[in-house]
Amino acid sequence: MNKKIRFTVFTVTVLLCVNISKAQICGSSNLALHQLIDEAEVVVTGKTINKQCFWNNDQSNIYTQYQLEAKQSTKSNNDKIYILVEGGTIEDITFEVFGLPNLSLQNEGVFFLNKNNILNDNKANGNYYNLKDIAVYNTETNSIENNSSTIAVDEFNGLLKEKHKTVFSFVREEQKHYKQQATISSINPVKIAGGNNELLTINGTGFGSLSGNAIIAMRDASSLNSSLYVDIDKINIKKWSNTQIKFVVPGDEITTNFSGVASGKIRITDSSGAITTSLQKVEISYNKKVFKGKSVRLRGKNLQGEILFYVERNLINDGALPAVKRAFGIWNCATGSNFVYAGIVDNVCKEYDEQNVICYDTTVPTYNLAITRVVSRNCSSIDLADQVDADLTFNPNFNWSFTDDLEGNQFHFESVLLHELGHAFMLGHVVNIEDIMYPSLINSLAKVTLTNNDVDGGISIMKISTSNAKCSDYGPVESYNRENCKGCNSVINVKSNNVTENSVFLNWEDVRNTSFYKIRYRFKGSQFYEYSGKYNKLILYDLPACTTVEFKISAICNNDQKSESETTYRFITLGCR
């Protein structure tokens, strides 16, 4: 078929979303509530009321002990329940673990706990527990929610009674009726980063003043549940008038366990308690780790300004090293980071030795693919913090593939490592499913292309990591020599919209440093036709009806290198009878 095709090109952004069975890369348990009820030894409603940080015996780790003020419990004696979590801050050192449920002071909710047998053996009261997960009570829907599921209170209590022989009482607030609620007319910008000290402006009417119950809330970055919000600290609210609110979008604060905010709607509560939720969503492009609002820097670990990583022997023996080097190259070439393989090590995983290590770890929770622990040295006098130690620990009980040849039940090691390196880069979680920093991964999927959001976050941190200001014993990172980079990223997130009998709108995520795109297309297995263009969007006209159209798209970058692989995409025009 020799059919003339007309193209129209312009700029639009479209994202693809795939939802299949996933495993948690890191974060909360990813267990549904019925599983948590079944697996937890104790379920408690209450609130964390104080905490104490302490070193372990060999000073290789910091732990935090939270006291839980229990209101209801499945155990008879609920006095002085203590929750022990890994991580915390002592003097100028902060340990933080990416991959465990987030806990902070004044956390209120439903706590799922298992006994900490090591501590209980040495304590008289035996009330020390590990945190499995937290859920919250949604008074509007009268349901219990966590990261993975939502169930009605009656169903929750039914499961609780079956397993733990008790039920909980949840008090639902009366629906209040307000004479007038705020109106939001605009939000600017609609895309912004967390932790960059950037201002978000909300315009409208009826906001009142910053008094009483007044607060701003955004979606919680620590959860994939879109109904979970976190309050913006009032220190970040720079203006609140009846017609305009301005606030700094916070990052993931290392000293308070505030996980940052995520893409979604904004919720305004006025001084009387009336709640207004925006219709418009704000995209949080990336979520930086911060110390007192300032970005945490990377540091070079040798005279060449390289960020050295050692790899445990067992991973090397399993064939992980090529995947490790590929992951380093992806971040280095995209952001200028300088991750370098430094050699093989044995038995130094999770030690506070200011040495970055990639290793297996049998203590990673069964539901997590991997966990990253980072150590920062905080310099309060100059509002700076340096990341000085990062251990990327992988669960050895998963079926890993160290190549792109994936079987159905395998997880792609390189994809997970890219995510964990993002944490070593001091980037927190986001809820944009295309981004590497999204906390879940589908098995049998290779996800090895950084999005523009991922790259922008890495570049932002690299800008401050090349500075000479003294905080730790290490110097600045020397930007990676991009001349060493070959090829360019493959085209991803191809999307077809408005397919008709004779036309379609196609777009895909823009590949950085692209000179032009090369597109090959054909109908029903016929010969390929070629088209080249500068833009990542186009409209095709004069297509034949009820026909399979196959596209192959590659990017040609400024260094004349081509995408490593050609992306194939198919669609069928309408008109089939």
Q: Which residue has 């090591």 as its token pair?
A: 118
Please give the biggest Cα pair distance in the chain. 85
User: Which residues neighbour 457 within 8 Å (Cβ) at sequence distance 6 or greater?
Assistant: 193, 285, 286, 287, 288, 422, 425, 427, 437
Report whether 196 contacts 190 (CB < 8 A).
Answer: no
Nearest in space to 60 (alpha carbons), one of 351, 492, 363:
351
Nearest in space to 274 (alpha carbons), one of 184, 203, 201:
184
Structure tokens at 432: 């944009």
Dihedral sign for Cα 468, 470, 475, 480, please: negative
User: Distance between CA 435 and CA 370 in Å, rounded?
Assistant: 17
Strands (E) across 447-528 are located at 495-497, 504-507, 514-523
Q: What is the dihedral of CA 309, 310, 314, 320, to 10 degrees?
A: 40
Strands (E) across 395-490 are located at 400-401, 411-412, 440-442
Listed as own residue / partner, the contacts of 122-128 with beta carbons closer than 8 Å and 24 or more positions apart are: 125/80, 127/77, 127/79, 127/80, 127/81, 127/82, 128/65, 128/82, 128/84
Please give the chain's pLDDT, 577 residues, in tens.
Answer: 333 333 333 322 222 222 234 566 665 556 889 999 999 999 999 999 999 999 988 888 899 999 999 999 998 765 688 999 989 999 999 998 887 887 888 888 999 999 887 665 545 455 889 999 899 998 888 999 988 889 999 999 999 999 999 999 998 766 555 556 799 999 999 999 999 999 999 999 999 999 999 999 999 998 888 888 999 999 999 999 999 999 999 999 888 878 899 999 999 999 988 999 999 999 999 999 998 888 899 999 999 999 999 999 999 999 999 999 989 999 999 999 999 999 999 988 888 888 999 999 998 888 889 999 999 999 888 888 999 999 999 999 999 999 888 887 899 999 999 999 999 999 999 999 999 999 888 888 889 999 999 999 999 999 999 998 889 899 999 999 877 776 677 888 888 888 888 888 888 888 876 778 888 888 876 788 888 888 888 888 888 888 888 888 888 775 556 666 777 888 888 888 7
User: Distance between CA 416 and CA 209 in Å, rounded?
Assistant: 45
Structure tokens at 307: 């960020």
The predicted structure's pLDDT at residue 505: 87
Nearest in space to 529 (alpha carbons), one of 155, 3, 10:
3
Nearest in space to 394 (alpha carbons), one of 454, 460, 312:
312
The DSSP string of 435-459 is: STTSSEEETT-------HHHHHHHH
pTM, two decimals, is 0.78
The predicted structure's pLDDT at residue 180: 63
Structure tokens at 363: 């203590």
Report whether 373 contacts 96 (CB < 8 A).
Answer: yes
User: Distance between CA 207 and CA 184 in Å, rounded?
Assistant: 9
User: Distance between CA 556 and CA 514 in Å, rounded?
Assistant: 6
The predicted structure's pLDDT at residue 12: 23
User: Which residues neighbour 121 within 8 Å (Cβ) at sequence distance 6 or greater?
Assistant: none
Report whether 209 contacts 271 (CB < 8 A).
Answer: yes
Kind of pairing, strands 514-523 and 529-533?
A: antiparallel
User: Distance between CA 160 and CA 170 in Å, rounded?
Assistant: 13
Angle at CA of residue 254, ends 248 and 259, nearest 5°:
60
Angle at CA of residue 413, ends 407 and 414, nearest 5°:
115
Report whether 476 contacts 468 (CB < 8 A).
Answer: yes
User: Distance between CA 202 and CA 337 in Å, rounded?
Assistant: 35
Angle at CA of residue 484, ends 482 and 487, nearest 5°:
90
Strands (E) across 26-117 are located at 42-55, 62-73, 81-86, 88-90, 93-98, 108-115
The predicted structure's pLDDT at residue 328: 94
Phi, psi for 39 (deg, rounded to 5): -90, -20
Cis amide prior to 439 (ω within 30 degrees): no
The predicted structure's pLDDT at residue 179: 57
Element (H, E) at 341: strand 339-345
User: Distance between CA 86 and CA 542 in Å, rounded?
Assistant: 61
What is the chain's alpha carbon radius of gyration, rounded to the nearest angstrom? 25
User: Distance between CA 427 and CA 431 in Å, rounded?
Assistant: 13
The predicted structure's pLDDT at residue 554: 85
What b/e sequence results for 19-56 when a residue is b if at least 16 CB atoms lie within 10 Å of its CB, and e otherwise? Answer: eeebbbbbbbbbbebbbbbebbebbbbbbbeebebeee
The residue type found at 528 is F
